[in-house]
């Protein structure tokens, strides 16, 4: 099975899941659960940075910070692929 990064919003406000290096945003409402799924067969290491209302994820092949994995999907709890901007609030300030 591929490496997957499950992410869940256990809070009571929306949270932005931000995937680098493309800067794609996926907004999580309270109780939402998403997974970041790398494509291909690479050995992936995830780097996660958390700030108020924001979770930023980087994917590295073989843990090498100079070898970013650029092909991934974000899926919801039902396995449905989500598009960049999923549930983006109207006043997100361009995140």
* Full-model pTM: 0.87
pLDDT at 95: 54
Q: Whole domain around residue 72: which residue ranges? A: 5-76
Cα 60 to Cα 49: distance, rounded to the nearest angstrom: 14
pLDDT at 83: 97
pLDDT at 93: 55
Residue 17 domain-assigned?
yes
Cα 79 to Cα 95: distance, rounded to the nearest angstrom: 25
Residue 21 domain-assigned?
yes
C-alpha 7: how far from chain center: 7
Residue 88 domain-assigned?
no
Cis link prior to 7 (omega < 30° from 0)?
A: no
Q: CA 56, 6, 23 angle in degrees (round to 5)?
A: 25
* Domains identified in the chain, total number: 1
Residue 58 domain-assigned?
yes
Residue 49 domain-assigned?
yes
For the chain, the straight-line distance linking the first and the last C-alpha, in angstroms and rounded, comes to: 32
If the chain, 95 residues long, is cut into consecutive pieces of 10 residues, what is the mean pLDDT of each piece?
87 96 96 94 90 95 83 96 96 56
Residue 86 domain-assigned?
no
Residue 64 domain-assigned?
yes
Residue 84 domain-assigned?
no
């Amino acid at each position: 099975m591929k490496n997957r990064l499950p992410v869940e919003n256990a809070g009571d406000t929306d949270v932005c899941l931000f995937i680098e290096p493309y800067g794609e945003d996926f907004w999580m409402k309270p109780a939402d659960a998403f997974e970041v799924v790398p494509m291909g067969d690479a050995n992936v290491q995830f780097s996660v940075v958390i700030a108020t209302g924001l979770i930023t994820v980087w994917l590295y092949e073989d843990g090498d910070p100079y070898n970013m994995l650029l092909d991934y999907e974000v899926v919801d709890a039902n396995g449905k692929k989500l598009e960049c901007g999923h549930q983006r609030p109207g006043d997100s300030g361009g995140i």
